[in-house]
Structure 1
Amino acid sequence: MPSSPTQNQPKPKPGLTLWFNRFASRAAHFTGTPWVFVTAVLSIVLWAATGPLLGFSEVWQLTVNTGTTIITFLMVFLIQNTQNRDAVAMHIKLDELIRATRNAENSLLDLEELTEDELDQFRNTYEKLAEKARQTQQKKKTAA
């Protein structure tokens, strides 16, 4: 009996990659909570309220500019890591659905590895199939 794809799951990556993946997942989950959003809004409101007290000084402006720049810079990498893993997981799931579906076109497995020209060829083929299906549907409607 052939082994199923779930029996051949890869082992977790050791070291820094595993640590970063876990950290990025937890950070993305945490920063996506309503409490973090409320905290961010309250921080900006507090910062804005202290403006008149500090005379809208350069230090006052630099504080929020530096803080938001650093947070944004770091979040880009966390979000990209999360998106990369989510995209890979989605492709694996779609590949499994294609593989397991009877009469599916198995050449569509792993399309994300193709060049732009190869993808264009597939797109053109499926655009023609879609157009043919629409024409057939239209003929059925007019005949009814």
Structure 2
Amino acid sequence: MRRAFIAAATLILPLALSGGPAAATSQDTPPSVTAQATSAQAAQAAGHPGTLVAQGPDDICGYTNRRPNLQRGSEGRAVRQAQCYLNQAIGTNLAQDGDFGRATRNATRFFQECADITVDGRIGAQTWSFLSFWANQEDAPFDC
């Protein structure tokens, strides 16, 4: 019994003295969280969506929920998904044919420039995240 009391006191006393676990200050906010908030505010001020989310249940394009890395020469349902997202996000008029050709690469580069992310003409994790979010916004397509 005495050991249990000492163990509980050892855990509770520091929390009580520091003001409890909810006593975090702005100094306790990790720099990455602050940077994300600043980036989101800047994007919203520029008229672009500012928060990243995963694909939701009401996805605008329903070809697949897979998100493989895509580049020129890629084919299939994931390419159709990306082409649909590009059409929805920035108003491109790509054929949703599942062929990642020159037009899809150019539209991808344009989108990446517009979103202010790495411009390489390939669709990886970062581009998928932005595409999914932008395409599923009520006020899409966005002007770049």
TM above 0.5:
no
Q: Pick the TM interval, shorter chain.
A: under 0.3
Q: Which has the larger radius of gyration?
A: 1
TM-score normalized by the length of structure 2: 0.27
TM-score normalized by the length of structure 1: 0.27
Q: Which has the higher contact order (CA 8 A, sep 6+)?
A: 2
